[in-house]
């Protein structure tokens, strides 16, 4: 079992990132104070009768960081390490992320502290439905629109949509995105985050005059974001030399056959035992020489103790907050080109936006149209961030934050203060 570094407080990290960008922009103190902290924070208690007949109480959260540019938007995470501070941080990053890709949403996030891997489908359904009814006053297609995140999926979204709709008395598909297609989901949503990661890596290679074909890639976290990014990079001719998940890491110097790895993971639920690969330790994986490293698991996976061993030209942050500030500094000093999370993984929320637009119009687009629009948004956003990076001579992370924070600041300044 890979060890996880003790997480630094994710919300502190989000606030630090905010301050760094706000200082670089010389943002006025009044606007800073208005946009730095969450607008609304809700903690809920979720009693669930478990399969053994006993009642277990779970704790859940929904945070709306900002609704300045539109409804709050952000996923729901089921994980044993979910805390209110983590949810606040993720909600904050959602605000800047939606602004970076210039979609008319604010930022929100939700989560339940639970261990979904040790719960039955019935227990998960009851927990999800009770959580939905507890956060009901906050959510809605014009208010706050949840989506999947770590260990939640289209089925979870279907339960939320159904619970919300039953309470209102009619079907309201636009209350969540990342739904199954049969309920008004969008083509391309499931692979949108990984696809967006792929487009930003392509842009970074272009900028650095690197060839993607033949590049050596490592992907940490082989779930929704990581496996799709790995498959698209593999199809573009990159060699995916190592991948990992919570059960272990596999390595092949000549490159893994990613479609086969995906097939095995979906059949067996783990990577271990994949033929044509050797099992290695997580710390060994980070130290492998490669061209592109894609952290696609959880926060703080690259930290002070392992950052120095990272040997990559590009780090593409598919996960949210995968680098601690110390790791960020170490990689900057090494000259690593970092595609920051709020840009790199924004493909998911972008197609969520497309889904919400389609639901609202009751008019659905084909996959080709969605990929084309997604590629356009990701590449324009990459270039917008790159422009600030080169013109202002700031790291890509600060440049992305400056772009996102600047757009939110402009919105609150124009709106003024009520009353």
Residues 322-341 within binding reach of ligand NAD (CB under 6 A): none
The CA distance from 404 to 67, in Å, is 14
Size of the site for ligand NAD (CB under 6 A): 26
Return the structure tokens found at 416.
Answer: 């003024």
Work out which of 111, 221, 340, 395 binds ligand NAD, going by CB under 6 A.
221
Under the binding rule (CB under 6 A), the answer on residue 223 touching ligand NAD is: yes
User: Candidates 50-58, 62-70, 128-136, 222-230 — which segment interacts with ligand NAD by CB under 6 A?
Assistant: 222-230
**247 vs 413 by CB, closer to ligand NAD:** 247
The CA distance from 401 to 99, in Å, is 9
Under the binding rule (CB under 6 A), the answer on residue 298 touching ligand NAD is: yes
* Sheet containing 144-148: order of strands: 40-49, 55-66, 107-113, 72-79, 144-148
Return the structure tokens found at 3.
Answer: 């060890």
Under the binding rule (CB under 6 A), the answer on residue 225 touching ligand NAD is: yes
**66 vs 350 by CB, closer to ligand NAD:** 350
At residue 145, φ and ψ (nearest 5 deg) are -120, 100
Work out which of 296, 316, 343, 394 binds ligand NAD, going by CB under 6 A.
296
Return the structure tokens found at 302.
Answer: 């690259």
Q: What is the set of active-site residues? A: 109
Helix, strand or coil, per DSSP, at residue 297: coil
User: Contact, 327 vs 303, CB < 8 A?
Assistant: yes
Under the binding rule (CB under 6 A), the answer on residue 257 touching ligand NAD is: no
User: Cβ of residue 107: shortest distance to ligand NAD, in angstroms?
Assistant: 12
User: Candidates 14-22, 39-47, 220-228, 330-338 — which segment interacts with ligand NAD by CB under 6 A?
Assistant: 220-228
Residue 170 is given by DSSP the state: S
Q: Which of 354, 407, 359 is nearest to 381 (CA)?
A: 407
User: Cβ of residue 259: shortest distance to ligand NAD, in angstroms?
Assistant: 16
Work out which of 66, 95, 193, 350 binds ligand NAD, going by CB under 6 A.
193
Neighbours of 270 (CB within 10 A): 15
β-strand partners of 338? 315
Helix, strand or coil, per DSSP, at residue 46: strand
User: Cβ of residue 124: shortest distance to ligand NAD, in angstroms?
Assistant: 14
Work out which of 89, 91, 119, 319 binds ligand NAD, going by CB under 6 A.
319
Instruction: Give the footprint of ligand NAD on this chain (CB under 6 A).
Output: 2, 4, 148-151, 193, 220-226, 244-246, 282, 296-298, 318-320, 345, 348
């Amino acid at each position: 079992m890979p060890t996880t570094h003790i997480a630094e407080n994710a919300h502190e990290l989000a606030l630090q990132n905010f301050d760094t960008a706000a200082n670089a922009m010389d943002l006025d103190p009044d606007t800073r104070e208005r946009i730095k902290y969450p607008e609304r924070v809700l903690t809920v208690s979720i009693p669930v009768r478990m399969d053994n007949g006993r009642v277990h109480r779970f704790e859940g959260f929904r945070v709306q960081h900002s609704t300045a540019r539109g409804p709050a938007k952000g996923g729901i995470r089921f994980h044993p390490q979910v805390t209110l501070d983590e949810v606040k941080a993720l909600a904050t990053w959602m605000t800047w992320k939606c602004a970076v890709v210039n979609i008319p949403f604010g930022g929100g996030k939700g989560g339940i502290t639970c261990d979904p891997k040790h719960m039955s489908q019935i227990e998960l359904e009851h927990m999800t439905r009770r959580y939905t009814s507890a956060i009901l006053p906050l959510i809605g297609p014009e208010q706050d629109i949840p989506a999947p995140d770590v260990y939640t999926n289209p089925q979870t979204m279907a339960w939320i949509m159904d619970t919300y709709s039953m309470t209102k008395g009619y079907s309201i598909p636009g209350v969540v995105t990342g739904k199954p297609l049969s309920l008004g989901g969008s083509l391309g949503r499931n692979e949108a985050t990984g696809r967006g990661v792929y487009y930003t890596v392509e842009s970074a290679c272009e900028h650095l005059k690197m060839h993607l074909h033949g590049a050596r890639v490592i992907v940490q976290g082989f779930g929704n974001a990581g496996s799709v990014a790995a498959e698209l990079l593999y199809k573009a001719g990159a060699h995916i030399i190592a991948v990992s998940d919570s059960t272990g890491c596999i390595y092949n110097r000549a490159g893994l056959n990613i479609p086969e790895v995906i097939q095995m993971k979906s059949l067996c639920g783990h990577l271990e035992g994949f033929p044509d690969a050797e099992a290695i330790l997580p710390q060994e994986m980070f130290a492998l020489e490669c061209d592109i490293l894609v952290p696609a698991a959880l926060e703080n996976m690259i930290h002070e103790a392992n950052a120095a061993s990272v040997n990559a030209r590009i780090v593409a942050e598919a996960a949210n907050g995968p680098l601690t500030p110390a790791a960020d500094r170490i990689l900057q000093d090494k000259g690593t080109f970092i595609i920051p999370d709020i840009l790199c993984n924004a493909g998911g929320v972008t197609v969520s936006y497309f889904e919400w637009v389609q639901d609202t119009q009751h008019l659905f687009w084909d996959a080709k149209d969605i990929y084309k629009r997604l590629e356009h948004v990701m590449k324009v956003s990459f270039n917008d961030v790159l422009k600030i990076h080169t013109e202002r001579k700031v790291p890509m992370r600060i440049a992305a934050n400056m772009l996102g924070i600047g757009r939110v600041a402009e919105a609150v300044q124009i709106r003024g203060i009520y009353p």
